[in-house]
Amino acid sequence: MTRETVATVLRAGVRRLKEAGVPEPARDARLLMAEALGIDAGRLTLMEPEMLQNEPAARFETFVERRAAHCPVSHILGRRWFWGREFEVGADVLDPRPETELLVELALAGRRPGRVLDLGTGSGILLISLLSEWPEATGLGVDRSHDALRVARRNAVRHGVDNQAELRSGDWCDGVEGGFDLVVCNPPYIPRAEIATLDRSVRDWEPHMALSEGPTGLESYVRIAAGLRDVLVPGGRALFEIGADQGESVPELFRRAGFENVRMHRDLAGKARSVDISI
């Protein structure tokens, strides 16, 4: 048994993360210590005076070293909360961002669809969140990454929608048969040259194919716009996440592709965040 308390080891972990330039080192160290102990983070304060056993001490040390290398906390834990549900995440999928929840919010504010299509489904967070809210609906998630699809399938089972969701390999709208009332998509939208400027936790640990598809950041939208009418039913709707500086370029791209009912939505910070298309 170690002679050090949980609090002592925790403080050392905070210092290590701070020295490594990790944002919010105290918060991350607490989450990692709670995971090492196998307890809810809310109970950690009660445990701080206790002596730390060797096994959780070793786990915490490993976690801290990974975080000091700027591995995302969600990758270390293997999970991320999104729209009130816990999803498996990791190096094979894009780490869900809170701002992506706006797509779910906008979708739920519209009419209930019978069929949902999630393009570039990744971990399946959008499709699974929506099917969980609409138990009478069915959906299809497509992704080029077989590794991502394996994660999405486990998440579908985890949340009990595997009988509603089909998950298969695909390249945007190519080969997808029509008949969907709603399309949702969070495509790669970062210009390739900007990848090198991203935070290390993104640049070094997330799949680049989920971040960028080309030099402009618009390549995914161009390809999707070319096939969108073929997969939507008349009266259907499509929701896309966009970059904060794409509030003009992406809507204009869809208008040039022949879509008339195109709206842009901002997040709570006032930043351009999504494009809403109806046909």
Q: Is the separation of the CB atoms in 241 and 103 below 8 Å?
A: yes
List, for residues 31-80, the tens digit of each pLDDT value. Answer: 999 999 999 999 999 999 999 999 999 999 999 999 999 999 999 999 99
Compute the average pLDDT of residues 11-30.
97
So what's the pLDDT on residue 255? 97
**Does residue 178 surpass a pLDDT of 90?**
no
**pLDDT at site 102:** 96
Domain count, the chain: 2
Dist. CA 69–CA 78, nearest whole Å: 16
Query: Is the domain of 65 the same as that of 95?
Result: no
Residue 40 is assigned to a structural domain of this protein: yes
Same domain, yes or no: 185 and 59: no
Q: Do 84 and 221 fall within a single domain?
A: yes
| CATH number of the domain residue 85 falls in | 3.40.50.150
Share of residues in the chain with pLDDT > 90 (%): 97
Residue 101 lies in a domain: yes
95 is written with which tokens? 């780490």
- pLDDT, one tens digit per residue, over 111-138 is 999 999 999 999 999 999 999 999 999 9
- Of 225, 214, 217, nearest in space to 253 by CA: 225
* Per-residue tokens: 218: 């618009």
274 shares a domain with 153: yes
Q: pTM (2 decimals)?
A: 0.93
Domain limits at 21? Answer: 6-69
Same domain, 176 and 209: yes
Phi, psi (degrees; rounded to nearest 5) at 85: -130, 150
Instruction: Please report whether residue 205 resides in a domain.
Output: yes
Last residue of a domain, one of 34, 49, 69: 69
pLDDT in tens, 246-273: 999 999 999 999 999 999 999 989 999 9
Of 48, 69, 90, the position where a domain reaches its end is: 69
Q: Is 74 inside any structural domain? A: no
Is there a single domain that holds both residue 42 and residue 93?
no
- 121 & 229 share domain: yes
Kindly state whether residue 166 falls inside one of the protein's structural domains.
yes
- Answer yes or no: do 106 and 60 share one domain: no
- Ranking 3-7, 84-88, 159-163 by mean pLDDT, the lowest is 3-7
∠ CA 206-211-213, rounded to 5°: 135
Q: Are 60 and 136 found together in one domain?
A: no
Whole-angstrom Cα distance, residue 154 to residue 93? 13
Provide the pLDDT for residue 164: 98
Residue 230 and residue 174: Cα distance in Å, rounded? 10
Distance CA 79, CA 75 (A): 7
Judgement on whether residues 195 and 135 belong to the same structural domain of the protein: yes
Mean pLDDT throughout 97-105? 95
Has residue 1 been placed in a domain?
no
Model pLDDT for residues 199-253, shown as the tens digit of each residue = 999 999 999 999 999 999 999 999 999 999 999 999 999 999 999 999 999 999 9
Average pLDDT score, the chain: 96
142 and 206: one domain? yes
* DSSP state at residue 208: G
Judge whether residue 3 has pLDDT over 90: no
Q: 58 and 16, same structural domain?
A: yes
Is the distance from CB of 228 to CB of 173 less than 8 angstroms? yes
Residue 64 maps to which CATH number? 1.10.8
DSSP secondary structure, 27-80, as one string: HHHHHHHHHHHTS-GGGHHHHTTSBPPHHHHHHHHHHHHHHHTT--HHHHHTEE
Q: What is the mean pLDDT of residues 161-189?
A: 96
